[in-house]
Structure 1
């Protein structure tokens, strides 16, 4: 699906997402038009899903990050759907993942401090539907958070 040129474009763009198509073209030794066409094709086919800003939550005053591992009451037919719909409505939930196994869902939550986290946990998380068990893991350090692919 991807040829060597596509991979080169993606490698350069992953290393510096601020590059324009013209700058990518220069680094890949192709014309700006060809780079733009390749980028458009990869966007249209879903290889490139979009671009985003990476925000340092700590710089905005969020100093606490907690990962909650949730086991749902699977005797309820809509347990996953109801839980996920309600969890999406919590602004401090930055990530929701589902799993096969003992843990069904993982929520990543950010908070300004422990008092703020405690408020989120008590008033919003514990009111989510169909929770059978919940375990909190407080993040101490982020060692690696890499979204770049080995192209």
Structure 2
């Protein structure tokens, strides 16, 4: 699907302020409310606009630690990826799972209330995941840039 300048304006305003009402979004994009609604509906139908979600600051809820864990899996088992990912999905503190080509096979982002809590999660839930050949941990110190905005 091709998008035009009006679609780009809608997407830019929606990314900048996702809580805008349709009327506010239409006004800022220079469209009527009905046209805005139809365009948003078309962008959703095309899979460009996947939905709206609440972004919750887990740190504000008392989760102070974030660790990025990189895994190399034992790929002698053809089901290693599927079984590892299925088990990782069951760990509530895993907030992101990514797979890669290269030395790292899978990366998990894990959150915890504090270091003691992280150690409990790591020992009881992470080290028990199947097919781990090697792992490496990166402790998050600061997030410099975090954006879901695209240059449209």
Give me the TM-score of the superposition, normalised by structure 1: 0.98
Residues 102-142 of structure 1, C-alpha deviations (whole Å, 9 max, x = no match): 00000000000011000000000000000000011100001
Equivalent pairs, count: 151
Residues 15-46 of structure 1, C-alpha deviations (whole Å, 9 max, x = no match): 10011111111112211000000001101111
Partner of 1:13: 14
Hey, which bits of structure 1, 4+ residues long, moved more than 2 A? none
Partner of 1:98: 99
Residues 47-101 of structure 1, C-alpha deviations (whole Å, 9 max, x = no match): 0111111111111010000000000001110000000000000000000000000
Partner SS for 2:31 = coil
Asked if 1:55 is matched to 2:56, the reply is: yes
Residues 2-23 of structure 1, C-alpha deviations (whole Å, 9 max, x = no match): 1111001001111100111111
Q: Which runs of 5+ in 1 are unaligned?
A: none
After superposition, the CA RMSD in angstroms is: 0.6
Partner of 2:43: 42
Partner SS for 1:76 = coil
Give me the TM-score of the superposition, normalised by structure 2: 0.98
